[in-house]
């Protein structure tokens, strides 16, 4: 008994006009609040390693996670509040890291880094 492979043809051409895009699902607003989790995680790692300012990165990460949790639960007002707090902490942490990096580079360029430590 011999088996032969059968050929199957599938027509992938559209059969009519595409249906209109319905938009976002009902019950979900288009403007979801931001939670800044990646920025907070970046600040935790960067602040801890470069500027020893982990005390600013961890609260930002906590507020970011709270904002994400509230967004998932549908409490958008609290999610915006936590997200705004995380954003402010991330801005402060990022500015302090930039200041620390510039300060270290200035002292390295002057060649007098031993007086700092």
Query: What are the pLDDT digits (tens) for 86-110?
Result: 999 999 988 888 888 888 888 888 8
**Separation between Cα atoms, residue 34 and residue 63, nearest integer Å:** 11
What residues does each domain of the chain span? 37-110
Backbone angles phi, psi at 85, to 5 degrees: -65, -45
Query: Of 68, 3, 8, which Cα lies nearest the Cα of 38?
Result: 68
**Separation between Cα atoms, residue 88 and residue 66, nearest integer Å:** 15
Q: Is the pLDDT of residue 66 over 90?
A: yes
**Average pLDDT, stretch 64-78?**
92
Q: Look over the chain and give the mean of its residue pLDDT values, rounded to a whole number.
A: 79
The per-residue pLDDT for 104 is 83
pTM of the model: 0.65
**Secondary structure percentages of the chain, helix, strand, coil, to 5:** 60, 0, 40
């Amino acid at each position: 008994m011999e088996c032969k492979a059968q050929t199957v043809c599938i027509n992938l051409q559209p059969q009519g006009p595409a249906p209109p895009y319905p938009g976002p699902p009902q019950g979900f607003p288009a403007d979801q609040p931001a939670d800044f989790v990646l920025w907070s995680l970046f600040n935790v790692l960067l602040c801890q390693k470069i500027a020893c300012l982990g005390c600013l990165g961890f609260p930002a990460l906590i507020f970011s996670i709270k904002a994400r949790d509230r967004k998932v639960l549908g409490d958008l007002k609290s999610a915006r509040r936590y997200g705004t707090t995380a954003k402010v902490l991330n801005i402060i942490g990022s500015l302090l890291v930039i200041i620390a990096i510039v300060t270290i580079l200035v002292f390295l360029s002057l060649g007098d880094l031993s007086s700092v430590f």
